[in-house]
Amino acid sequence: MSSISLKYPPQPVVTAATTVQRPVKVAANLRRRLTERSIETLLLLAALVSVFTTLAIVAILVWESIVFFRTVPLLDFLTDTQWTPLFDDAHFGIIALLSGTLTTTLVALLVAIPFGTVLAIYLSEFAPFRVRELAKPFLEMLGGVPTIVYGYFALLFVTPLLQKIHPGLPGFNMLAAGLVMGIMIVPYVSSLSEDAMRAVPMNMREASYAMGATRLQTALFVVTPAALSGLASSYILGISRAVGETMVVAIAAGMQPNFTFNPAEPAATITAYIVQVALGDLPHGSIGYQTIFAAGLTLLLITLLFNIIGHLLRRRFREAY
């Protein structure tokens, strides 16, 4: 009897309650699958919104720029040193706007990259816990200040301060705008750089200490090279932020296109010109109106170039731990 009971185990008793629970479980599983599928679809649609928005922006810029380049030769657009599309003697040399954009960006990066990197090294390797927790919110607050506030700060405070050092400095200049842009970008660079440095494994620091290195030597020659891909990402973000800045340069640098790389002179950037024309009363479809799309496409290509460079740097120096 015992062998028979082992060979044929007792079957579960099927009752009326069991037969009722089976359809309930099937319905619950079906509802769960439908809920999960609907959430996945919603998240997919949310992700596709950004893709479609980007594609729509690119399509509009390219389409309107094609209309512009049917009238203005591409060679003149790239080589002419004057940008006067709203004058009777119209010139369409984007290099006049590019010089102002690149000059203010360079001044901003000369401020943001050194200060942001040093601040990131301090917060990551030297700052006590309480100092770090206190400094991070202030950096985030600094990054959240409206850019128009920075613009008036550059015009009403930084420019008069620079004029005391350099009396011949005009009221509108790229130097003050670039310095304030650099201050504005410091939180972005320092925050991302600190995150990249804190992601470096602690055993690399401990190995450096075991070899007799100091904390400063470890931070400079071990942690910083190991976090180079993250640092490159923060620098590229800072460059993109500086290239696309509008209000600071529109208020402090002047809005007169000027082909110069001297930061002590006034000039207009691509974004400042777009704001200037967009606030005007140019008729839709005119050549002056089409210039904002050509300038916007140029700005988009510059930003894309920097992002490609950043992607290549991340792939080249990426470390997997």
Q: What pLDDT digit, counting tens, does each position of 27-77 carry?
A: 777 788 888 888 989 999 988 998 899 899 899 989 888 888 888 888 888
The continuous run of DSSP H or E covering 186 comes out as helix 174-198
Q: What is the DSSP letter of 14?
A: P
Query: Does residue 251 contact residue 152 with C-beta atoms inside 8 Å?
Result: yes
What span, in angstroms and rounded, lies between the C-alpha atoms of 182 and 109?
A: 6
Q: What is the pLDDT of residues 247-257, one digit of tens each?
A: 888 888 888 88
Cα dihedral sign, 93-96-101-102: positive
Cβ proximity of 162 and 263 under 8 Å: no
According to the model, what pLDDT value does residue 306 have?
85
How far from 318 is each of 113, 230, 234, 315, CA to CA, in Å?
Answer: 20, 8, 14, 5
3-state secondary structure string across 266-305: CCCCHHHHHHHHHCCCCCCCCHHHHHHHHHHHHHHHHHHH
Q: Is the pLDDT of residue 95 over 80?
A: yes
Residue with tokens 């470096």: 200
The residues, any chain, with a CB within 8 Å of residue 275's CB and separated by 6 or more, are 246, 250
Question: Closest Cα to residue 222, out of 245, 250, 192, 202?
Answer: 202
d(CA 109, CA 115): 10
Q: Please tell me whether the overall predicted TM-score, pTM, comes out greater than 0.95 for this model.
A: no
Return the residue matching tokens 């062998």.
3
pLDDT band at 321 (very low <50, low <70, confident <90, very high): low
Stretch among 7-11, 84-88, 99-103, 246-250 having the lowest mean pLDDT = 7-11
Percent of the chain with pLDDT over 70: 90
**HSE-CB of 272 using CA atoms within 13 angstroms:** 29
C-alpha–C-alpha distance, residues 273 and 264, integer Å: 19
pLDDT of residue 180 exceeding 90, the answer is yes
Query: Across residues 137-163, what is the average pLDDT?
Result: 87
Contact assessment for residue 227 and residue 156, using Cβ atoms and an 8 Å cutoff: no
